[in-house]
Amino acid sequence: MTHPATSSTIIISGLSVTIIKKRIKHSYLKIHTTSCHLRLSVPLKTSLHEITELVSKHWTWIQNKIKNIKTIQKPIEKKYITGEKHAYQGMLYPLCLMIHPWQQSVTLSFDTIVLSIKENNELKERQALLISWYREQLYQIIPNLIQKYEPLLQVKVHEFRVKVMKTRWGSCNITDKRIWLNFHLIKLDLKCLEYVVVHEMAHLLERYHNKRFYKLIEKVMPDWKTYKDQLNQIHLIHLL
Ligand SMILES: [Zn+2]
């Protein structure tokens, strides 16, 4: 006779816990790394009393885990002031604010990102200035990458767009031959941006992440895996 796993959700001390009863010998507890949701897998015959006992026994551990997840997830609020570090092409550069009576500009000079801005500027203005500079850089780099790979992959990109995405590095519209690239890519090693461009361009030829797809990429970017791994290790939330 087989016992299918059953699941139910209960609230223990204000925390909702999904209980999964299945054919296992030992219970185990998992905390989802983004939602902090608790899942407790227990042997089939575990009683509700035993379940609450288990949770309270590990209460401190659970609370610490949740606290850790929440601090990791919380992006540090940027102030855009002199000395504060900002990422650009895989490096961290300190900002340097320079007051200029009329001209607003951003320049990368030696190891510093210099923001020239009028006196009494506000955080929002400094942020907007840096964002538009990041965008300019992307709009200079991306067309060259597309041009480089169009003949190699034998595909035409009709349009590319840059947007802030919270969960993905890129996306595409196969019918319109349009690709979207995540704004935050400008903060990473240029090769990562290059990989995402190649990845999305390859999708214009192959929709799925199948063997053919990765063969297309491999042919034009043999070291693609290094950059794919790098991207996988980055939590987008840390780039905000
Ligand atoms: Zn893909």
pTM, entire model: 0.70
Residue 2: per-residue pLDDT? 47
Q: Are 66 and 218 in contact (CB under 8 A)?
A: no
> How many whole angstroms from 227 Cα to the centroid of ligand 1?
14
- The pLDDT tens digits for 83-113 are 999 999 999 999 999 999 988 999 998 899 9
> How many whole angstroms from 141 Cα to the centroid of ligand 1?
21
Measured CA angle at 174 (ends 135, 211), to 5 deg? 105
Domains of the chain with CATH codes: 6-73 (no CATH), 140-239 (3.30.2010.10)
Mean pLDDT within 177-190: 96
> How many whole angstroms from 87 Cα to the centroid of ligand 1?
25
Residue 12: per-residue pLDDT? 77
CA distance 78 to 139: 24
> How many whole angstroms from 213 Cα to the centroid of ligand 1?
9
> How many whole angstroms from 209 Cα to the centroid of ligand 1?
6
